[in-house]
Structure 1
């Protein structure tokens, strides 16, 4: 090794000057034998065809008889996708709620109970169970990823509980034992009606001891500017652009190969995200068409979200089989909240006082279209919602390694133990002053006292008007297997199943005047589900694959915290029940799908299409009690989802690449969900489960020579149709709210153009070119409340991106 080589190797290992080194110099320093050639690629894909692990084994995307979309980091950069919501715009069959992070795949989504979509970082599931309010899944940042995989349809056999609708997987790059690789990205942009955003991140990896020890480290930070201003009731701006956000990601991994075939890889993934305020704005003060977005609540709803994920992966592979062990511990802390001030005022303005028994006194309207009634003295009652996850996961798989064998297989065992805390507080330090103004008495005197073992206990402690805390423990043990018999070189059948034992228990307490005193409870449930899968595939030619699949998915049941009868008796009477159920059962889906993956015209046209029908039974869903504003979970109703998804990539002429995605999902109730009384209808047969039935995207890229280098220009267009009537919009249901309306049709246009010089890629871009502001969601607290808040897209954003890849 020359002196120059030793110096460069040292610099590469430190990772300090990697981004500054010229590509020719780096190319001279690769050591070891060349990597084996990749599998035959699809020439229509801009970066070659992606190898995915949707079946837990490496396969070309076009050869997997599963409906799956995958994007590598290059494709994500080209499309400007830095969040799962952006990925969803290019992916048929998936929709993401920007406010709650709720993911719907093929119409299967519920914010009650356990998750309906599996979310994985590599082989570790990280989705959350909804124990209370704002139990939102974390959003891993998209930087230094090998790829993102979206698996449509239930994935209960290989990915277990919570993958009813499908699974989203974030796959990270592994340390290199032979070659050095690096990736650096920087960006600067400006949002109309808002401020400046920026990001910088860098990753480097390679051998420390060739073929024996390798590493990969990365660091990334992004700041997204705000574009919503906080105002007073009259519209005077108090603080601009309050809904900014920051995210920091650090990751490190080391691979040790003590002997050929055995790799031991410990890694740590850390992410810290802070959203300074949410993206809702007051309808009565705002004018989205003119770029006016105002929020008049006195609250600033900060949302810090932090997780750390240490993992130990052990992979042993020989000529006969491969064994993979994945041990992980996911630790997350998230503090969020809704607008507690508006919530309290919407409740308090429904109260009455009748000192004489003849002349009840009611408070004035506290919430007006522009904000809080200015005649009310200053009032602030923020909500603080704390969610903590602690998840230990151990999975061991053994699988075949020869893809040409007559039988290929994967089998494994899975163990998970998780602890979750959910605490909801309404911090109400101004409650006494407000009630003195409204009723001439303190909040403490209004709600009175509760009986205690040592005498009367005040319902209000001067701080919290409501607190509800649940701590749950959940344990899953499962065995699974997936076996494929290649009957002929073209015809294959697959059978699989997963048997699981799930146990769940919780403890809960609630207190405060809005809970009518303290309640305590504990409970639990258990289930032993079996999720089968069957698949048949026919590789008619090298370029034409047809398949059909039956699969079942499930999510485990749970238990409810007690709902106070005194506070909610009127609601229970309307529903014809004596109280909320103490537990709810698991629900399940049965899916039937047919699909095809084809290439035509000398592989200049690639098409992937599938059609599906899904039956969903015993749906876990929230029952909202409008009078006492408390909710619980029950198994109510049946639904089905039908539709198709289509993806296409084409090279019609040299230099032009066209990629398109089209999805249609019709998801609706097939049976009216209700209790015994006519007033207890919660959903009517035919009501939509939500979301846009039609989604479409098309991107056109032109690659051309420019000054001896490569230039490109790209335009992307995405469309989502208006949502259909949901149960909240149906006047026949108990929770009908005339203020809830369908979302608008959405038209999103993005442009990007730049040049590629060696490993450098520099481009300018415009997101939301039309500066569109469609209504995504409209909400208010209480059916009679006049104060509405809306959400929409980030306004037009113009920026510059520079990246370097080796």
Structure 2
């Protein structure tokens, strides 16, 4: 696998009561709410309860003995959440990298190998394996959802491989058989230093034949403006706001009930997302404090990403049990890439044999402002194509009487996943550049450098490097989860999942930068057992204590070959003979204790948990610094410890306060290295990265306004400065870059104020009120260059939202 040289019309839901602001509860639908008296502020409604399916059966969230956050569509709208990045700001223990779509839950995250977080749309897992380079998970849009659930801690028993840190679930509304419902939303906004954004979407569902046949359809489109300008080397703007994005979602579902207790629900969801350019700007040309964001690269790093998900659900209920079958086929194509032009130049700048210029100098190819103007016009975009095809079949049978002394769920799971990853450096001007720099063609230079007796494959002027892998992964599993209610208040749960996973791949790599063609194939298999044990004590209707042990797992895989001729010096430095042909699975073991309470006549809701997680045999990238190629190996051990707490309260009539706080300390407990003393990749005590502290605070006031219901809300989120990761450790000799620094501590403030008029909710909002531009990510384009690119938040955005709910 090739490494990156550097590393790197309507609106808001009709919201009835202030309790909608809380992270884990929601007020009843607006249609059932009674308007408050107009003479004074409305009385706060009792805390509502979101019903979740985290245990594969429906339960009120306050009765589920695991750490979970859930947001229904009304709460998501009130908080202005349109993506998982927005949800993460309100969720303790969850961190999201908007640059790579990387999800970390309780510090467990890795961009190497199989995914560490399960991502589900209903009952279909859609997470991707990092087969090659830039294999990012898709990012479902948030519109017309029943809820988003975030399950913290490994969920291997019920959700299988990949749910090591936890699971994120997008749950869609089902067709109604007895009443019509609808939801519509529209928005328009303006971004400081950028342009106009807008969205429109609508959903409707209900019976076609009462109690027999129902439907639900929805359509949604959103345009997010850009705010970064393309410039030349001198900073002159060539193209404004190039990092805009569009997303379109269409979904349809039917439910047919041929018998009283039997439902058949086919559905299909389509999403198309296009990001016209990424959010990185050149540090040497920009001034974030003044709202100046410029990118001098000649590349537009477009990222089209679309998927289609047809599914079929069968649900049959008997007197004492229910049988549920889910069949689905997920098909996705994503084209992304890094800045191949800058990557190539940062690499070529390190090569020997440069010709002097007219002054007898060899100036750098890259400066702090971009590509040195003495270099002839050069463009070598990277094109990274990732495809997924996943067939999933799950059948489970579960008890339906929650009052029975024993409740249970059991099932079988099958998945067949095909994946393709192709990385190309499209280099039509490669020979022209090499004639200028070295006085010979690109092919001749690398042929001589490789000391290759035979001729290299003919360079056709397209790809100076190509690496393509195709893989197939098959999983079959049986699982069970049984709860014995020893007394009406004391319960114990035992569960387990036995899996067999097989993985195979074929690969080829070619091009002058690869020193010729290589071919390979490989396969691995594993048969893990994932146990779970839980004890819970429902002290009374308002107080729950629990403790849980669980194990998570992700399967191993195989590496594409690393050309020895290109990387022999790196292998010698690491003290190894070459890259391993495969890597093993890794596992986590988690211990958690938690409590859920309602206090002061149910005016205060508390959910809290503490955890410790042990991570063994971590799959991670090993970067070979000289040849700029990386592979995956199992190196090091780590542990994560911390806690999370969520509070929601109503101290005064019309006032709702909420807080979500998380602390995670994740670090290596064993040095990751080969036998060579200079091969250290991470030192015992090094952090796994991420912000240790996250805090979200919210306050809402509901009041009568001109005969209607008004509300005003403020939200504040804080994340502490990120810990230095292993790639930033001076002891990590093979990959240390002093130019890479940790991200800043962040402070995000949002405001929203509006009125409820019948089923309509109209509101004004401000996101990023302080117009804050913290450093979220810094990329060094080659250790030997002065060129840095940074990423930050979208600047202050002011807008108007209108929604209607029936």
Q: State the TM-score, normalized to the length of structure 2.
A: 0.93
Distance 1:89-1:561 versus aligned 2 partners, 3 A rule: same
1:210-221 to 2 correspondences below 5 Å:
210-221=210-221
C-alpha distance in structure 2 between counterparts of 1:111 and 1:347, whole Å: 23
C-alpha distance in structure 1 between counterparts of 2:679 and 2:787, whole Å: 27
SS of 2:681's equivalent? strand
User: Paired residue for 1:29?
Assistant: none
User: Paired residue for 1:182?
Assistant: 182
1:608-623 to 2 correspondences below 5 Å:
608-623=607-622
User: Paired residue for 1:10?
Assistant: none
User: Paired residue for 1:346?
Assistant: 346
User: Paired residue for 2:682?
Assistant: 683
Cα shift at 1:181: 0.2
User: Paired residue for 1:640?
Assistant: 639
Deviates more, 1:47-56 or 1:377-386: 47-56
SS of 1:683's equivalent? coil
C-alpha distance in structure 2 between counterparts of 1:46 and 1:235, whole Å: 57
The question of whether the paired residues in 2 share the 8 Å contact of 1:692 and 1:720 is answered with yes
SS of 1:680's equivalent? coil
Distance 1:354-1:375 versus aligned 2 partners, 3 A rule: closer
C-alpha distance in structure 2 between counterparts of 1:475 and 1:109, whole Å: 23
1:269-289 deviations in Å (ceiling 9; x for gaps): 000000000000000000000
1:114-133 deviations in Å (ceiling 9; x for gaps): 00000000000000000111
Cα shift at 1:450: 11
1:564-609 deviations in Å (ceiling 9; x for gaps): 0000111111100010000000000000000000000010000000
User: Paired residue for 1:801?
Assistant: 801
Cα shift at 1:781: 2.6
Equivalent pairs counted in the alignment come to 768
C-alpha distance in structure 2 between counterparts of 1:639 and 1:186, whole Å: 46
1:418-437 to 2 correspondences below 5 Å:
418-437=417-436
Q: Which runs of 5+ in 1 are unaligned?
A: 1-16, 24-33, 356-360
1:332-371 to 2 correspondences below 5 Å:
332-353=332-353, 364-371=363-370
1:28-43 to 2 correspondences below 5 Å:
none
Pair 1:700 & 2:699 matched: yes
The question of whether the paired residues in 2 share the 8 Å contact of 1:250 and 1:271 is answered with yes
Distance 1:93-1:18 versus aligned 2 partners, 3 A rule: closer
1:407-446 to 2 correspondences below 5 Å:
407-446=406-445
Q: Which runs of 5+ in 2 are unaligned?
A: 1-8, 16-28, 34-42
Cα shift at 1:462: 1.6
1:491-570 to 2 correspondences below 5 Å:
491-570=490-569
C-alpha distance in structure 2 between counterparts of 1:147 and 1:380, whole Å: 45
C-alpha distance in structure 2 between counterparts of 1:47 and 1:214, whole Å: 31
Deviates more, 1:193-202 or 1:43-52: 43-52
The question of whether the paired residues in 2 share the 8 Å contact of 1:329 and 1:392 is answered with yes
Distance 1:450-1:268 versus aligned 2 partners, 3 A rule: farther
1:754-777 deviations in Å (ceiling 9; x for gaps): 000111000000000000000001
Cα shift at 1:541: 1.1
C-alpha distance in structure 2 between counterparts of 1:488 and 1:46, whole Å: 29
The question of whether the paired residues in 1 share the 8 Å contact of 2:277 and 2:301 is answered with yes
User: Paired residue for 1:129?
Assistant: 129
1:39-438 to 2 correspondences below 5 Å:
48-353=48-353, 364-438=363-437
User: Paired residue for 2:740?
Assistant: 740
- Specify which structure has the bigger relative contact order, considering alpha-carbon pairs within 8 angstroms and separated by 6 or more residues: 2
Distance 1:435-1:486 versus aligned 2 partners, 3 A rule: same
C-alpha distance in structure 2 between counterparts of 1:683 and 1:208, whole Å: 61
The question of whether the paired residues in 2 share the 8 Å contact of 1:353 and 1:362 is answered with no
SS of 1:670's equivalent? strand
The question of whether the paired residues in 2 share the 8 Å contact of 1:102 and 1:136 is answered with yes
The question of whether the paired residues in 1 share the 8 Å contact of 2:10 and 2:801 is answered with no
1:464-503 to 2 correspondences below 5 Å:
464-503=463-502
The question of whether the paired residues in 2 share the 8 Å contact of 1:45 and 1:649 is answered with no
1:547-569 deviations in Å (ceiling 9; x for gaps): 00000000000000000000011
The question of whether the paired residues in 1 share the 8 Å contact of 2:419 and 2:472 is answered with yes
Cα shift at 1:729: 1.8
C-alpha distance in structure 2 between counterparts of 1:199 and 1:706, whole Å: 27
User: Paired residue for 1:781?
Assistant: 781
Cα shift at 1:256: 0.1
1:626-675 deviations in Å (ceiling 9; x for gaps): 11000000000000000000000000011000010000000000110000
User: Paired residue for 1:9?
Assistant: none
The question of whether the paired residues in 2 share the 8 Å contact of 1:116 and 1:165 is answered with yes
Cα shift at 1:44: 7.7
User: Paired residue for 2:5?
Assistant: none
User: Paired residue for 2:660?
Assistant: 661
User: Paired residue for 1:712?
Assistant: 711
C-alpha distance in structure 2 between counterparts of 1:18 and 1:166, whole Å: 34
